[in-house]
Amino acid sequence: MKFPVLRRSPLFAGLDDTEIEGLLESVNYRVRFFHAGAVAALAGEEISSVMIVLSGSMKGEMTDLAGRTIKIEDVNPPQALASAFIYGAGAHYPVNVIANMDSELLIIGKADYLTLMKSDTRILSNYLTVICTKALFLSGRIRFLSFRTIRGKFAYYLSSLPGAISGRVIVDRTQQELSEFFGVTRPSLARAIGEMEDEGLIAVNRREVRLLDIRGLSRLSEG
């Protein structure tokens, strides 16, 4: 097997080495090596292929008008680059793609990848799962970012946890993680939680939260 890492890729889930190899043989693909710091794609450039990180590590990076660079995210093996954008209307890379270290990318043209999806239902299904799951994630994040107040975000978060109907939930993240998820600072979140407790909306005991005033909570998460 040339690329054992592909077995662990969500795009090739459920396929064994032989099948992966066989499928790859049926299309054009190439492997490109990028030295640390090398640019694999520029922001605005058309996305013409599926690129899967085989080894090393890549990053997405933006350049603003003043030339400052801002790192957006890392992409590590066996993830694909910009997977949810590839087939978008006039798809262009939203960021510069740069190698964090010496890295290898498996590159399959968009049309060739379409062929793969048509020839193997699992490949198709895997790709659909990847992008739909991504869309679900993005959509959920927007919901939280759209609430105006921290109390609104937290109230909605609580109501979305399993057990909310019974009035008793277990928060499954640290305040630090929650605050990052909400896009606010950690002390502000702690204060908001404290105030909600003072007002009798909830009762907090570390990770366990009892929902005392359902109507009050629902008023907070209005929009």
Partner DNA sequence: CGCAATTTGTAACAATTGTTACAATCTATA
Partner DNA sequence: TATAGATTGTAACAATTGTTACAAATTGCG
Q: How far is the CB of 188 from DNA (least distance, A)?
A: 3
Sole binder of DNA in the list 187, 199, 203, 219 (CB under 7 A):
187
Other Cβ atoms within 10 Å of 22 Cβ, number: 12
Nearest to 54 by CA among 120, 129, 91, 2: 2
How many residues lie near DNA (CB under 7 A)? 23
Interaction partner, residue 35 (a copy of itself, DNA, none; CB < 5-8 Å by kind): none
Q: Quick one: 105 or 171, whose CB is closer to DNA?
A: 171
By CB under 7 A, name the one of 135, 176, 208, 218 that touches DNA.
176
Cβ proximity of 157 and 136 under 8 Å: no
Q: Which of 5, 27, 114, 190 is in the footprint of a copy of itself by CB under 8 A?
A: 114
Residue 200 binding a copy of itself, by CB under 8 A: no
- Out of 99, 105, 169, 192, which residue is the one contacting DNA (CB under 7 A)? 192
Is residue 161 within 8 Å of residue 210, measured between CB atoms? Answer: no
How many DSSP H helices and E strands does the chain contain? Answer: 7, 10
Read off the DSSP letter of residue 166: G
Residue matched to tokens 């350049």: 63
The answer to the question of residue 207 lying near DNA (CB under 7 A) is: yes
Long-range pairs, 22-29, Cβ under 8 A, ≥24:
23/116, 23/119, 23/120, 23/123, 26/115, 26/116, 26/119, 27/108, 27/109, 27/112, 27/113, 27/115, 27/116, 28/108, 28/109, 28/112, 29/106, 29/107, 29/108, 29/112
Binding to DNA by residue 155, rule CB under 7 A?
no
Among residues 113, 106, 109, which one has the least CA distance to residue 23?
113
Residue 119 or 176 having the CB closest to DNA: 176
Query: Which of a copy of itself, DNA, none binds 163 (CB below 5-8 Å, type-dependent)?
Result: none
By CB under 7 A, tell whether 148 contacts DNA. Answer: yes
Give the angle subtended at the CA of 188 by the CAs of 186 and 194, to the nearest 5°.
Answer: 105
134 binds a copy of itself (CB under 8 A): yes
Q: Which residues bind DNA (CB under 7 A)?
A: 148-152, 174-176, 183-194, 204, 206-207
Q: Which residues bind a copy of itself (CB under 8 A)?
A: 64-66, 68, 70, 84-89, 91, 94, 114, 117-118, 121, 124-125, 128-129, 131-136, 138-142, 145-146, 148, 159, 164-165, 183, 211, 214-215, 217-219, 221-223
